[in-house]
A = this chain, B = another copy of it.
Amino acid sequence: MSILISGTVALDSIHTPTAIHNELLGGSASYAGLAAALDAPVHLCSIVGRDFPEEHRSLLSGHGIDLANIEFAEGRTFRWTGRYHENMNHRETLDVSIDVLEKFAPELTPEAAAAKVVLLANMSPDNQLAVLDQVTGTPFVIADSMDLWINIAREGLLAVMKRVDLFVINEDEARMFTESSNLVSAGWRLMEMGPKHVVVKKGEHGALLFGPGKFFAAPAYPLTGVEDPTGAGDSFAGGLAGSVAASGRAPEFADLAAGVVRGSVLASFTCEAFGVKRIASVSKEEAAARMAEFRGYTSW
């Protein structure tokens, strides 16, 4: 089954304690698309400017990703500059240039609109709703978000949550959104806000999956070092979506649990190098080997 992924495609400049890299391919849709493409055909829906480098375009299409739903618009591509501090767990945004993102009005091709799995990767809730309004049939819909939208577009985000099968959010955002310091309690409160399932991403501590009367917890793949965590959460969501699509059926809770593990594994690759470098070079065999390792790490 094919996947429609809508989100941002960006040029990222990343500072870590050991290095600076400028104008790397970034954005939620890029990371999610590359992760999902390991498991299923991907339609990517986004907007970039005329300055978007040909090498980035060919990297995405080289992974078999359909770019027919990406608008190449007048103006500059969305840019993000961020800095990670010593422990790599917290980052600071140094600069954001929205540019073409401001006029993003997603329009889907019939093939993309008919995808059986839809991932609304991190972008404004208004854009997520605009995509959702165009899908045909009854796809399995996953939405990711971030603290910015909780703060400035809460109503839109609540509208998205009511329409999705799976809502993905990170640990700090879950606590903030629900005003609960207990993460399990936060997960159940998010469920009450409308989504059929909730995933709380916890970075180095793994992820929690909540469903109707059901619960699953996965650790993170045990990396001894992180080169650049940018896009790990997006790769997680993409890996989860790809896993659901690869199963070829409407997912049961156990399929979503397997998807959470797939997401954790693909996110771990992303952390191993700057930008999309590692996730763009992972082979199916490498991903399968890490899934097998993960099985050992969680068996008792």
Contact = CB atoms under 8 A, between A and B. Distances in A.
Interface of A: 86-89, 181-185, 188, 202, 204-206, 208, 215-220, 222-226, 254, 257-258, 260-261, 296-300
B216 A182 contact: no
Contact of A218 (B225, B260, B300): B300
A218 B206 CA distance: 10
Nearest to A262: B300
Contacts of A297: 215-217
Contact of A87 (B89, B181, B205): B181
Q: Please state the number of chain copies in the assembly.
A: 2
A184 B54 CA distance: 39
Contacts of A257: 299-300
18 contacts: A86-B181, A87-B181, A182-B224, A182-B225, A184-B222, A184-B224, A185-B225, A188-B224, A202-B205, A206-B217, A208-B222, A215-B296, A216-B296, A216-B298, A217-B222, A218-B219, A257-B300, A298-B298
B218 A258 contact: no
Contacts of A181: 86-89
Contacts of A202: 205
A212 to B, nearest CB: 14
A185 B74 CA distance: 47
A300 B300 contact: no
Contacts of A215: 222, 296-297
Nearest to A188: B224
Given A205-B202, A222-B208, A261 B300 contact: yes
A260 B219 CA distance: 14
Among A205, A206, A220, max chain B CB count under 10 A is at A205
A296 B253 CA distance: 11
Contacts of A223: 182, 184
A215 to B, nearest CB: 5
Contacts of A299: 216, 254, 257
A183 B204 CA distance: 8
A216 B89 contact: no
A257 B299 CA distance: 8
